[in-house]
A and B are shown apart, each in its own frame.
Chain A
């Protein structure tokens, strides 16, 4: 890199990380001040772990994210398989457009639209409030689905279509061919989709805000209500913990990623060798 490029990159990184570093530093502040560092202390971390409402929100967020990711991955993978096999051009275009809607529409509109429907249907059945864990789960699955489909579909298109056919010619049932041949081929896409769905669900605030019932609070909603009042550095402690968890997950996934690609390369090499032998 040229010196000018290095300076520019450094400036951008300072811009991106200055707020995060400040959060980290002031989470260890002794006093409540967010501008003067008066001394090191773990006081705010102790406070955080005494805050049962926040801890409960963490639990809720994880439960919701696991459910939403699992449902959207299974349904999204099945949808990608179906869309990939659609021969009708117009149906294909309709599917593409509908799938794009939640990604292109502003989150606030997705949130409002689902909320309006839930409220309307709830009133139809005479319920005072229809918003609950279930409405939130529906909302999360809905906005995660397109991302899963978008990860799996290209893998299906790259796959050699004769592979599952060969399996069926050799006596596999279509279902068995799907699980034994297609799934292993598209697994990287499914896993990326699963991870994306999980993190999108964990992080979502806007859509959750409109579809959450009173009884079920996720972490972003808890943070929102915490920042409405004057904030204690307790929230900074929470942000610091989240940051390090994310960092650890990223490092692990990067390491396993390079392991995975190595394994794939090895497998390819093996296949090549076999081919060479067969041709002889």
Chain B
């Protein structure tokens, strides 16, 4: 009988990994290097800091209720993206956490149904989902029709920051629920019972047992909502009537204008900021896990 030496097998395993290694190098790592390369070069591919410094120094005039002012264009756009993304993430957490908790407590049959129900909207294309909200929130839309029916005055939502937040919350809500739910579903019920036996009230159980244990789910939920909402470029165009330019819109705008080097610079800065944030969050999560 022929035997196969371990060394022979390990060569086989390396061979099997080769296509993916080459693919990942060519189409994951090299493209990221190209972002940096374009960000630090001008249109003749000579080294320059101009694109990066333009992000931090470009100014423009805006006029609003308080008159006309000069502002840092891209810093303002970034601050606005961050603000709307943080608000949306917070609302998702506020709605998603109790929902995940309720789901994890339900019977296994109900749990299965609820998970499927929450996933169904995710399968609709996000452009369609966003567009549906546009028709709901219009001044002559269904929401105002309903409000008028119960005698409340029409509200003007479309084209405001609230509309953009509603769109973000709707589009990314399932990404918050599902990670929290999957952590909670695996949680040991005995720990909660033990806390109760030792005299903890319901709020104490939630604060001292459930919340710390669910923290990994919360963190991945927050990351999964924050990242797409900070970098989105369609929602603000449709629901904000193009008035609230976000960082994603800025990148897309430069791409459409064929200004690839500046688009790369914005993408590069966004990537660096997100990396730093994520490293920070991960460290915080680890520290918390140690304490808990």
Report Cα–Cα, A30/B102, bound state, in Å: 41
Stretch at the interface among B59-67, B155-163, B189-197, B231-239: B231-239
- Give the number of chain A interface residues (Cβ < 8 Å): 76
- The smallest C-beta distance from A29 to any residue of chain B, in angstroms, reads 11
Inter-chain contacts of B201 with A (CB < 8 A): none
Q: Write the chain B residue with the least CB distance to A15.
A: B170
- The smallest C-beta distance from A19 to any residue of chain B, in angstroms, reads 4
Q: Within 8 Å of chain A (Cβ to Cβ): is B14?
A: yes
Check B274 against A8 for contact (C-beta < 8 Å): no
Q: Within 8 Å of chain A (Cβ to Cβ): is B138?
A: yes
- Given A13, A81, A114, A149, which contacts B31 in the complex, CB threshold below 8 Å? A114
Main DSSP-derived SS at the B contact region: helix
A97-124 contacts to B (CB < 8 Å): 98-99, 101-102, 104-110, 112-117, 119-120
Q: Within 8 Å of chain A (Cβ to Cβ): is B27?
A: yes
- The smallest C-beta distance from A9 to any residue of chain B, in angstroms, reads 6
Inter-chain contacts of A83 with B (CB < 8 A): 17
Q: Within 8 Å of chain A (Cβ to Cβ): is B29?
A: yes
Check A223 against B125 for contact (C-beta < 8 Å): yes
Q: Write the chain B residue with the least CB distance to A116.
A: B34
Inter-chain contacts of A120 with B (CB < 8 A): 34
Check A116 against B98 for contact (C-beta < 8 Å): no
**Per-position binary interface string of chain B over residues 10-54, scored 1 when its CB falls under 8 Å from any chain A CB and 0 otherwise:** 101110111111011001111110110110000000000000000
- The smallest C-beta distance from A146 to any residue of chain B, in angstroms, reads 9
Would A116 and B31 be within 8 Å (CB), given that A5-B102, A8-B99, A235-B131 are in contact? yes
Check B260 against A116 for contact (C-beta < 8 Å): yes
Inter-chain contacts of B290 with A (CB < 8 A): none
Check A18 against B136 for contact (C-beta < 8 Å): yes
Q: Within 8 Å of chain A (Cβ to Cβ): is B2?
A: yes
Would A79 and B17 be within 8 Å (CB), given that A106-B231, A239-B124, A239-B128 are in contact? yes
Would A108 and B102 be within 8 Å (CB), given that A82-B20, A117-B34, A250-B120 are in contact? no
